[in-house]
Chains A and B, each alone.
Chain A
Amino acid sequence: MAIRDRLSGNEAVAHALKQIGPDVMAAFPITPSTEIPQYFSAYASNGEVDTEFVAVESEHSALSACVGVAASGGRAVTATSSCGLALMWEMLYVASSMRLPIVLAVVNRALTGPININNDHSDSMGARDSGWIQLYAENNQEVYDNTIMAYRIGEHPDVKLPVMACQDGFITSHGIENIELLESDKVTSFIGTFNPDVRLLNPKHPVSMGPYSNASYYMEWKCQQAYAMKQAKQVILDISKEYANISGREYGLFEEYKMEDAERAIVIIGSSAGTAKATVDSLREKGEKVGLIKIRVFRPFPMDELAKALGHVKAVAVMDKAESFSACGGPLFAETRSACYGIPNAPKMINYVYGLGGRDVHVGCIAHVYSDLEKIIKTGDIGETYRHLSVRE
């Protein structure tokens, strides 16, 4: 029987980690950190988990410590947000290239400046090319579920990559919602033990990890990383199916909401997908054929699957909660439009950058986007493809 509870997103992740019991959590303990290390350090000092909690002096050190733990064959976790993730940057690439299945709980928040502490996806979207798997959550339930699945995905022999389990800062991280928790013994048996085939602390098989690699090997190494990311897609689906067996909640690479006969669709990530679902429901009551796709897995990007899901739609708005300053749209737009390139009768597609720095996104904002798509279908004119939502003129 699932345990009915109400938790904030931060509490949900801390609870999942308590049930997982990693060997080490290394985290910077103050701003811009989150409540996740705070809650978890209480579990550690109360003896509720065997995990060693290491309060390090910076996020760079937090991830460095996790690299050391994972290279030694331990399960490592850290948590951060915003500029804390930015300070980890160098080590993000070290972790992924060393093929270490570290889990990083990301609470998505804007990057300064102007100085801002609120939600958007600038932090993790900036890290999208660092070789980490990225899972995004709509609500507290999903971030709990993703955190539990993250270790299994990252540690899979076909993958061996670090995983970011992301949620929206404040909106879910500090919001209390209903949640269904699994019994701890179910989590324990789902998670299993971590038995990497190569680790530093194994005197019978001494190895060197993270060495210098010059031009004669660097590219082969990178190709192996890229191959692992390709493999990850199927592994994520398999693990998600296995998780459905113990939880009753099944997740794909993305969720299709009322897409069967949809003529207009939006593609969106994170908590605003919930608001968009409420918008879809109210427009559907008026007979409008609208739907949405919520991306759960951004890395690896579900390119072929997304093209298939959008193939029958007339017009699509891709929603980016991060500005990439490409002068032609955000990262999700670039990937989604690329996915649909070359498919017959590809939908007309626009991009909306929205919700930056905590700009609130309500049902009216999303309804505005669907109404723009209606205009595009009626007139056949896409107009400006790269737009910003709810901005003062």
Chain B
Amino acid sequence: MSKMVEIRWHGRGGQGAKTAALLLADAAFSTGKYVQGFPEYGPERMGAPITAYNRISGERFTIHSNIYEPDYVVVIDETLLSAVDVTKGLKESGAIIINSEKAPDQLRDKLKGYKGRVGVVDARKISEETLGRYFPNTPMLGAVVKVSEIMSEEEFIVDMESSFKHKFADKPHVIDGNMKAIKRSMQEVQIV
């Protein structure tokens, strides 16, 4: 993959959009890619809409700006569909991946005529069943890797396991739950 893939994350403060973007950068880095993962800082408060970004490429790149024409958009909070223009600039060759219990076709009318693929994963259900709490970012991470195919599923799973072992060195009990969340979301994501 030499072509650059650009991803925009939409979440609400506290849902881990920035962390997800950094974890994705980590995983892509481990597979030998050039990466960027960065948040866009606005007024920092719990619940406010926030944006984070990834660039992933097989070749070195120098650009430092926000992303206006992403290949993929990830929406961690379904309520943002009516609050933020999430499909703005989104390439039709790409996809939008939404955290929702609804089916992709039920969400399409909220996407301002977006004609590309729509992916849905119920990150709340997965998170609550695997982690016992609502941390939607880990399942969304699994879903975006599955849909975007920016790296092989096997590589990604191995990388995430090592990332979590590092990140949660003092909380080993959460590693299993996070890994289960990722694997389940990769199986359960529906894409139309």
- B20 in the interface (beta carbon within 8 A): no
Q: How far is the CA of A170 from the CA of B18 in the complex (A)?
A: 12
B15-49: CB near A (< 8 Å → 1, else 0) gives 00000001001100100001111110100000000
- A6 in the interface (beta carbon within 8 A): yes
| B25 lies within 8 A of A176 (CB) | yes
| B62 lies within 8 A of A274 (CB) | yes
Q: How far is the CB of A293 from chain B (nearest CB, A)?
A: 15
With beta carbons under 8 angstroms apart, the residue of B26, B41, B62, B64 that contacts A6 is B26
With beta carbons under 8 angstroms apart, the residue of A138, A176, A271 that contacts B37 is A176
Q: How far is the CB of B41 from chain A (nearest CB, A)?
A: 5
- In the complex, residue of chain A having the shortest beta-carbon distance to the beta carbon of B54: A176
- A277 in the interface (beta carbon within 8 A): yes
Q: How far is the CA of A117 from the CA of B66 in the complex (A)?
A: 17
Q: Which residues of chain B are near A118, meaning CB under 8 Å?
A: 41
Q: How far is the CB of A364 from chain B (nearest CB, A)?
A: 8
- In the complex, residue of chain B having the shortest beta-carbon distance to the beta carbon of A169: B41
Contact A171-B38, Cβ < 8 Å, known A6-B26, A6-B29, A178-B29: yes
Q: Which residues of chain B are near A168, meaning CB under 8 Å?
A: 64
Q: How far is the CA of A168 from the CA of B26 in the complex (A)?
A: 21
| B41 lies within 8 A of A360 (CB) | no
Q: How far is the CA of A361 from the CA of B65 in the complex (A)?
A: 6
Q: Which residues of chain A are near B41, meaning CB under 8 Å?
A: 117-118, 170, 174, 358
Q: Which residues of chain A are near B66, meaning CB under 8 Å?
A: 360, 362
| B29 lies within 8 A of A275 (CB) | no
- In the complex, residue of chain B having the shortest beta-carbon distance to the beta carbon of A365: B65
- B134 in the interface (beta carbon within 8 A): no
Q: Which residues of chain A are near B34, meaning CB under 8 Å?
A: 178
- In the complex, residue of chain A having the shortest beta-carbon distance to the beta carbon of B22: A176
Q: Which residues of chain B are near A277, meaning CB under 8 Å?
A: 62-63
- In the complex, residue of chain A having the shortest beta-carbon distance to the beta carbon of B53: A175
| B65 lies within 8 A of A174 (CB) | no
Q: How far is the CA of A178 from the CA of B33 in the complex (A)?
A: 9
Interface size, B (range): 10 to 19
- A44 in the interface (beta carbon within 8 A): no
B101-144: CB near A (< 8 Å → 1, else 0) gives 00000000000000000000000000000000000000000000
- A78 in the interface (beta carbon within 8 A): no
Q: Which residues of chain B are near A171, meaning CB under 8 Å?
A: 38, 64
- B68 in the interface (beta carbon within 8 A): yes
With beta carbons under 8 angstroms apart, the residue of A176, A177, A275, A362 that contacts B68 is A362
| A176 lies within 8 A of B61 (CB) | no
| A177 lies within 8 A of B36 (CB) | yes
B175-189: CB near A (< 8 Å → 1, else 0) gives 000000000000000
Q: Which residues of chain A are near B25, meaning CB under 8 Å?
A: 6, 176
| A278 lies within 8 A of B38 (CB) | no
- A139 in the interface (beta carbon within 8 A): yes
- A82 in the interface (beta carbon within 8 A): no
- A272 in the interface (beta carbon within 8 A): yes
Q: Which residues of chain A are near B22, meaning CB under 8 Å?
A: 176
Q: How far is the CA of A361 from the CA of B68 in the complex (A)?
A: 11
| A278 lies within 8 A of B62 (CB) | yes
A44-80: CB near B (< 8 Å → 1, else 0) gives 0000000000000000000000000000000000000
- Closest 3 pairs (CB-CB, A-B): A175-B38, A274-B62, A362-B65
What are 12 of the A-B contact pairs (CB < 8 Å)?
Answer: A138-B62, A139-B62, A168-B64, A171-B64, A174-B41, A175-B64, A176-B26, A274-B62, A275-B63, A360-B65, A362-B65, A362-B68
Known: A171-B64, A174-B38, A174-B41. 6 other contacts (CB 8 A): A172-B64, A176-B29, A271-B64, A273-B62, A278-B63, A360-B65
